[in-house]
Structure formats: C-alpha cells, structure tokens
C-alpha cells in the first residue's frame, strides 16, 4: 500500500516497515525523526494490521514532540484502516505541553516517563488513576498540577489548582497495592484507635505570630481539590529521618496531631466539628513517601507515608495524592504521601520567641499538608490567616488551627 504524508516526517529506517511505501521526501531529515527501537510491535486498526518496528519520536532538542503524527492511507484502502499510527514519546521526561495528542498508556510503553509542569513532576501512573502534586513554598507561589490516565488509557492533565464546584457524592473503593510493586514491605502494624490531636508540652507562640493581625474567624475563603477520602485515611510513618530531629515517637505525635487537626476541624472560632473524615495510623514502614528529591510524584507503592527528606529547592513540603477517577463526584483518595524538606530547611517542634525566622514549625506545616490530603486547596493573597494559605512563613504557628474558610471548605467536601 502507499502512504502519503499529512505532515512532513522522515522514516529513519523504511526497510523496517514491510508493505509500506512512503511518498515524498522519505529520507530527508525534516522536523521530526522516527527513532529506531528494538521492540517489535503490531498495530491493529479497525480493519487490518500494520506490522513493523515500534515507533518513537525525538524532537530537535531531544524532548518528546507535541503533536501526534497522522499518516493517511492513499487510494482508499478500506482494509488498511483509517486510524492514525500511534506515535509514542521516547524521552524520559517531557512537559505537559509536549504530551503527544491522544497519548494512551495501552498503546505506548510510557512506564517511568515523568511529566513536568512549573517545577513539579508526576511519573506516568497506571490506567484509571489521577495523580496530583501540591507544593508549599516560602515565596507563596503555587506549584502543582494533576496528571490523569483514564480507564481506557488516555492521558490528560489539569493545571487548575482548585475546584470548588465538584459534587461530593461517591463511595470508597477498596485500596489495592500498585501492580508495579514487587518487593516485600516490613511494617509494624498498629491497631490503636484514631486519637485526638495531641497538645505537646512547652509550645509557645512566637512574638511575630502573636502580633499578627486577626481575621481567621472572619475569612470564609476556601478552595477544594478533586479529591475526597470516602473511607478511612490509613497512613504510615516512614522509618528514616524526621523534621526537627524528632524521634519516631515524637514524629508520630506531631504527624498524627497534624492529621487530627483536619479531621477534627480544630479551630478557635467556635465552629463545631461536622466533618466525618477519619484517619488511622497503620504503623511504620520501610517504604518512603513517593516523592523524589526533584519534587516528582513517583509510582505509588500502596502506602500513604509521611516522612522527611530532600525536595525541590524552595519547597518546604509536598503532598502527592493518587486517586480513583469518580464520574459522579470528587475522586476517591487511594494514597497520599507527605514529605518535609529537611535538606533545605530547618524545622522545630517548639517555635519560641527566639525563633528569629530560622525554623519552620512542624505542626504548622503538617496541618497544611494534611489539608491537601483531605481535599483542601490553596488560598492566595489576602487570606494569610488561613491554614491553607499558599505561603509558608518561618516561625509561624497560625496554620495549626483552622480558620473559618478552612472549616467551610472541609464541610463542603464532607
């Protein structure tokens, strides 16, 4: 059969495409170049089969291309089919703007490919999964996005950081371990009931925070993400380093306290707890939070882990959430990992008047991240007294207790 170009492409090795003759400038090095890869493949169309080498593309800069190739069959050969030959990216990392149109994980082997946006990244998940990253920074700029792979394998993304209009109806789907997970996991399981937020001894409010303007009980602003825990958030404590040099027991106390402040709607505004969100500490794990030192959400391991380590420069803490797409309401949370950046920032569990802008408060940061876990998004300029304010200030503690908007946001979800 004869194939004509709809766009200018060059075949790196035409002999690898039996039965196909490319018309036009077959061997010219035009805008894109087919990359020879050793894997054999069969592409099945609605009306026939085309066999040959599995294709990929390399752009002029080595990144994946932004447009899917479209080769049309000339001469009206119905038996050859009319769908476009699937073109798969070969780069290990590409931006959301370089995603090929119509990319499908069932057609292309994109396991391990990282998609980036605005300094954050997400490793390509399996089908029927959405992954979101939310980063807390010192400069107040919002960093994050969502990468979605539908049940049919089609890849898309969402750059919006909040969605207050999504319906919240739905039910909890059973959590399952990632199909990529093969190594064993050593854990210490805990059957202890969900505890109330602890009140650690000796906590003092820094002078700078004591002099801050009031307003958390008057500010009703909030934003919500496309995520909800329909069941119980079962989380694990990583067995590595912890912020502020805390022991494992101290880390458990402060991390559990951070989560509990969200599930209990802890506030100083007299607002009652009407949020049925629940959590359960499931034990320690040898697995780490699925967040790389570049600020990338990596493949999920089936455990929601809180730990500390290295993150992208300028990021105080990050949350990576994996969800099941839900056609009738907010996506169902299946895993959410949280990491504190102890490589670039110092933390304290007890910010006193001598803090002098040196440290970030663990409970302050943790409560903000727990808000993301349970579906709260960032609020920006003009809402600095709310827990979900996008800027992280050193020595501040006001994020420890929710403002009116934070509570209203949780009520809107749950």
* E strand residue ranges, 90-142: 93-95, 114-117, 120-123, 129-137
CA distance 135 to 120: 8
| Mean pLDDT on 74-101 | 69
What is the reported pLDDT for 316? Answer: 97
What letter would DSSP give residue 85?
A: P
What is the reported pLDDT for 84? Answer: 59
Using CA atoms of 383, 386, 389, 395 in order, give the dihedral in degrees to the nearest 10: 110
Share the mean pLDDT of the chain.
Answer: 76
Task: Assess whether pLDDT exceeds 60 at residue 325.
Answer: yes
- Least confident window among 160-174, 249-263, 379-393: 160-174
Task: Assess whether pLDDT exceeds 50 at residue 55.
Answer: no
**Residue 73 DSSP SS3:** strand
What is the reported pLDDT for 65? Answer: 35
Task: Assess whether pLDDT exceeds 80 at residue 53.
Answer: no
**Residue 144 DSSP SS3:** strand
Report residue 303 as tokens. 């455990």
Tokens 């101290």 label which residue? Answer: 250
Using CA atoms of 224, 175, 281, 170 in order, give the dihedral in degrees to the nearest 10: 40
Helix axes 362-373, 248-263, angle to 10 degrees: 50
What is the reported pLDDT for 137? Answer: 93
CB atoms within 10 A of CB 317: 27
What is the reported pLDDT for 327? Answer: 83
pLDDT tens per residue across span 337-392 = 999 999 999 999 989 888 889 999 999 999 999 999 999 999 988 999 999 999 99
Please tell me which of 163-172, 210-219, 241-250, 349-358 the model is most confident about, judged by mean pLDDT: 241-250
Tokens 């993150």 label which residue? Answer: 311
Task: Assess whether pLDDT exceeds 90 at residue 330.
Answer: yes
pLDDT tens per residue across span 102-141 = 999 999 999 999 999 999 999 999 999 999 999 999 988 8
CA distance 191 to 110: 39
- Kindly report the backbone phi and psi dihedral angles of residue 116, in degrees, each rounded to the nearest multiple of 5, phi listed first: -120, 155
């Amino acid at each position: 059969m004869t194939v004509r170009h709809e766009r200018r492409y060059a075949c790196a090795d035409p002999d690898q495409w039996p039965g196909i003759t490319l018309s036009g400038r077959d061997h010219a090095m035009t805008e894109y170049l087919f990359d020879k890869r050793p894997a054999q493949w069969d592409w099945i169309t609605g009306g026939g089969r085309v066999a040959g080498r599995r294709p990929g593309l390399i752009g002029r800069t080595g990144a994946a291309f932004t447009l899917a190739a479209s080769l049309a069959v000339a001469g009206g050969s119905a038996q050859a089919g009319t769908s476009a030959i699937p073109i798969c990216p070969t780069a290990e990392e590409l931006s959301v703007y370089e995603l090929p149109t119509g990319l499908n994980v069932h057609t292309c082997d994109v396991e391990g490919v990282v998609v980036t946006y605005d300094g954050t990244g997400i490793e390509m998940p399996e089908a029927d999964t959405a992954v979101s990253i939310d980063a807390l920074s010192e400069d107040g700029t919002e960093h994050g996005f969502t990468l979605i792979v539908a049940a049919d394998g089609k890849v898309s993304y969402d750059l919006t950081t909040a969605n207050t209009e999504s319906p919240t109806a739905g039910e909890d789907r059973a959590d399952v371990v990632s199909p990529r997970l093969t190594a064993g996991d050593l854990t210490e399981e805990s059957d202890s009931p969900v505890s109330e937020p602890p009140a650690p001894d000796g906590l003092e409010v820094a002078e700078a925070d004591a002099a801050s303007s009031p307003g958390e009980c008057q500010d009703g602003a909030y934003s919500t993400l496309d995520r909800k825990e329909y069941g119980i958030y079962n989380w694990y404590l990583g067995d590595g380093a912890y912020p502020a040099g805390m022991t494992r027991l101290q880390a458990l106390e402060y991390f559990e306290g951070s989560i509990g402040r969200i599930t209990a709607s802890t506030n100083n505004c007299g607002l009652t707890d009407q949020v049925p969100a629940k959590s359960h500490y499931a034990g320690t794990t040898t697995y780490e939070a699925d967040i790389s030192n570049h600020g990338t959400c990596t493949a999920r391991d089936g455990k929601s882990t809180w730990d500390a380590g290295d993150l992208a420069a300028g990021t105080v803490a990050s949350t990576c959430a994996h969800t099941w797409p839900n056609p009738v309401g907010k996506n169902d949370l299946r895993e959410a990992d949280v990491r504190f950046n102890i490589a670039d920032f110092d933390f304290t569990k007890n910010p006193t008047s001598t803090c002098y802008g040196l440290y970030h408060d663990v409970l302050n940061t943790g409560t903000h991240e727990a808000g993301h876990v349970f579906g709260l998004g960032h609020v920006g300029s003009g809402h600095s007294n709310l827990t979900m304010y996008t800027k992280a200030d050193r020595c501040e503690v006001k994020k420890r207790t929710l403002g009116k908007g934070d509570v209203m946001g949780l009520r809107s979800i749950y």
